[in-house]
Structure 1
Amino acid sequence: MIFALWPDWLTDAIGRKKIFLNALFNGVTLGGLYFLVASGFTLIFGLMRNVNLAHGSLYLLGGYVGFLAADWTGYWLLAFPAAFVVVAALGVLLQIFVFRRMEGEDLRQTLVTIGISIVLADLMLWIWGGDYYNISPPGWLSGPVETFLSTAQKRSGDIVYMKYPVVRIVIFLASVAVGVAMWLLLNRTRVGMLIRAGVDDRDMLSATGARIQLVFVGVFAFGAGLAGMAGVVGGTFQSVAPGEDIRFLLASLVVVIVGGMGSIPGAALGALLIGLAEQFGSVYFPTYAVVLTFLIMVVVLAFRPQGLMGRA
């Protein structure tokens, strides 16, 4: 249960208190989910310059694999490593047999990965059908956040008193932890230095004896695995169903463009903006909710083409 002070002028400006707060928290936690998907995408597309338009299919496959793992074992947490391993293995195959053979050929990468995403979508539709699957969290993550208020506070007109699912808050905190860990990996470790150097000048780095192809395979596998884990999160947040691959691919593209290619803080900022825009748009002007997210992208491209946190 979450409470907040609420002045009268704010009520007059935006309407009912709980609706606004619910949209705010939903936008922040949805931004956490978008970041988990887009963080893998920004590694593959923004940092390694691999145009992987099958990224949404990796997300959806992770959701299905996570559902099977949780359903068979009865343990929600086991869905995450299962989805990560399976989707990361697929990412290794994509890097070795597709992207390594098409380095620097953006148009070929785009067309081939679109074809791969269509094939994967049809295969998943054939295996799992068109049903909606939901990954149930464990009991300790079920229910609302518990906070105790005095009777006097509950009667106060300035207090907003509402319930919010604890699982969404925990997953958002996990996305923050993943973002911090990725930033530290890329900016404070030798592996991160190799990745950044390999993107800038792979020939020079290879001349030093570094096994750059092995590093790139590892990065691609890690980015794909993150998409798979995000599928488990999405299946817990909402559901796993056909069409979610396209939705989250578009969201990842918008997040990376808004935040800046190859920037982890940019992906976090972009995901937060898009999540909030989507939720507030669906509440206050549902007819134009989709337009709002793309309007943000257009404004960013017009005034800061490299993204909010991208390098000029």
Structure 2
Amino acid sequence: MDTLLIAEQALNGLQFGVMLFLMAAGLTLVFGIMDLINLAHGSFYMVGAYLTAAFVGVFDHFLLALLAAVALTALVGLAVEWTALRSFYRRDHLDQVLATFGLILFFNELARIIWGPVPIFLNPPAALAGTVNLFGLQYPAIRLAILGVGVAVALLLWLLIARTRVGMLIRAGATNREMVMALGVDVRLLFSLVFALGAGLAGLAGAMAGPVLAVQVGMGEQILILTFVVIVIGGIGSVRGALAGALLVGMVDTLGRATLPALFRLFLDPAAANGAGGAAASMAIYVLMALVLAIRPRGLFPAG
């Protein structure tokens, strides 16, 4: 297989991985600190993408639209936490699953009412519409920008969690929530901040996905399953684990889809090879998860 093609797919895998990290970082904190299974986390990804598309038409400036969409998505997450989920913290996980699944249906229908069922194709900003020459590889500038933003957000999250008082409380809550409550910390406020942060990160991932993927109803569910795989591999409650798991899943999924069909064509006819290779690529991340859990049942970097 061509070396440049492998390099391009590796970069695509990294770009996909940082988007998964933005989703997984918020979700793993919500689950680790609040003990809340939030199936509606993917809906914030969809909301971020739709709001970005809407604000681009208002501001005619992609960066302003992205910032406004992320801020508003965080506020939507805060409103959802206050009105719908706060009473479910001490409820059974099955109740949480049912409630947040209902939120998925609500957000999907709301998006369909506001923006309609037809997918929206969001153009990248003019400065990122072309390609960049990377040692002979013409790579889309928008994908490099997504990769750069993901790395920058990962560094900012590390600074927030490792170097600030709020981060200390977040880490303590992920390790021992009962002790944090016993020390008199305003746990409701901490929960709200963590939930809004997670929603904002998901909205950022959706905003950056808009120029690469179609913005459409239900797009959040497509990435939510992979996000859960990421946090299981990385370790629940661990942002470092979310980063490691996201990069692993992004690389394995992308390179698997690019290389496995070609590998199967060595001993199968092209039609059968494409089918078998595609199926094997879809299974690869779950095989990876099983292998990681067999060796480290709590994930690669569990909290605490």
Normalising by structure 2, we get a TM-score of: 0.87
Per mean C-alpha deviation after superposition, the further-off stretch among 56-65 and 100-109 is: 100-109
Q: CA, structure 1 residues 49+82, in 2 after alignment: closer, same or farther (shift >3 Å)? A: same
- Work out whether 1:101 is the aligned partner of 2:87: yes
- Report 1:293-312 matches (<5 A): 293-311=285-303
- Work out whether 1:282 is the aligned partner of 2:260: no
> 2:125: which partner in 1?
138
Measured in 1, the distance between the counterparts of 2:170 and 2:21 equals 20
Q: CA, structure 1 residues 97+199, in 2 after alignment: closer, same or farther (shift >3 Å)? A: farther
Q: CA, structure 1 residues 123+306, in 2 after alignment: closer, same or farther (shift >3 Å)? A: same
Matched residues, number: 286
Structure 2: tracts of 5 or more residues without a match: 261-277
Q: Which runs of 4+ in 1 moved over 6 A?
A: none
> 1:247: which partner in 2?
222
- Report 1:151-300 matches (<5 A): 161-202=136-177, 204-285=179-260, 286-300=278-292
**Structure 1: which amino acid aligns with 2:65?**
A
Measured in 2, the distance between the counterparts of 1:256 and 1:206 equals 25
Measured in 1, the distance between the counterparts of 2:177 and 2:144 equals 40
Please say if residues 253 and 285 of structure 2, whose CA atoms lie closer than 8 Å, have aligned partners that are also in contact.
yes
SS of 2:211's equivalent in the other structure is helix
- Work out whether 1:120 is the aligned partner of 2:112: no
Q: CA, structure 1 residues 72+212, in 2 after alignment: closer, same or farther (shift >3 Å)? A: same
Measured in 1, the distance between the counterparts of 2:185 and 2:77 equals 21
Measured in 2, the distance between the counterparts of 1:227 and 1:175 equals 12
TM-superposed CA distance for 1:209, in Å, is 4.1
Measured in 2, the distance between the counterparts of 1:87 and 1:276 equals 28
SS of 1:164's equivalent in the other structure is strand
> 1:79: which partner in 2?
65
**Structure 2: which amino acid aligns with 1:309?**
F
> 2:8: which partner in 1?
22
TM-superposed CA distance for 1:208, in Å, is 4.2
The C-alpha deviation readout for 1:282-303, integer Å capped at 9, x for no partner, is 1123232211112111222222
Per mean C-alpha deviation after superposition, the further-off stretch among 300-309 and 95-104 is: 95-104
Measured in 2, the distance between the counterparts of 1:244 and 1:278 equals 18
Larger radius of gyration: 1
SS of 2:132's equivalent in the other structure is coil
Q: CA, structure 1 residues 183+271, in 2 after alignment: closer, same or farther (shift >3 Å)? A: same
Measured in 2, the distance between the counterparts of 1:205 and 1:47 equals 10
TM-superposed CA distance for 1:233, in Å, is 0.7
SS of 2:136's equivalent in the other structure is strand
Identity of aligned residues (%): 38
> 2:48: which partner in 1?
62
The C-alpha deviation readout for 1:265-298, integer Å capped at 9, x for no partner, is 2111111111111211211232322111121112
Q: CA, structure 1 residues 259+111, in 2 after alignment: closer, same or farther (shift >3 Å)? A: same
> 1:3: which partner in 2?
none
**Structure 1: which amino acid aligns with 2:52?**
G
TM-superposed CA distance for 1:207, in Å, is 5.0
The C-alpha deviation readout for 1:85-134, integer Å capped at 9, x for no partner, is 22212211222233321223222111100111112112212322232223
**Structure 1: which amino acid aligns with 2:222?**
R
Structure 1: tracts of 5 or more residues without a match: 1-14, 148-159
Q: CA, structure 1 residues 198+40, in 2 after alignment: closer, same or farther (shift >3 Å)? A: closer
Q: CA, structure 1 residues 205+278, in 2 after alignment: closer, same or farther (shift >3 Å)? A: closer
Question: What's the Cα RMSD here?
Answer: 1.9
Measured in 2, the distance between the counterparts of 1:21 and 1:209 equals 51
The C-alpha deviation readout for 1:226-271, integer Å capped at 9, x for no partner, is 1111111111222212331111111110111111111112111111
> 1:155: which partner in 2?
none
Please say if residues 91 and 220 of structure 1, whose CA atoms lie closer than 8 Å, have aligned partners that are also in contact.
yes
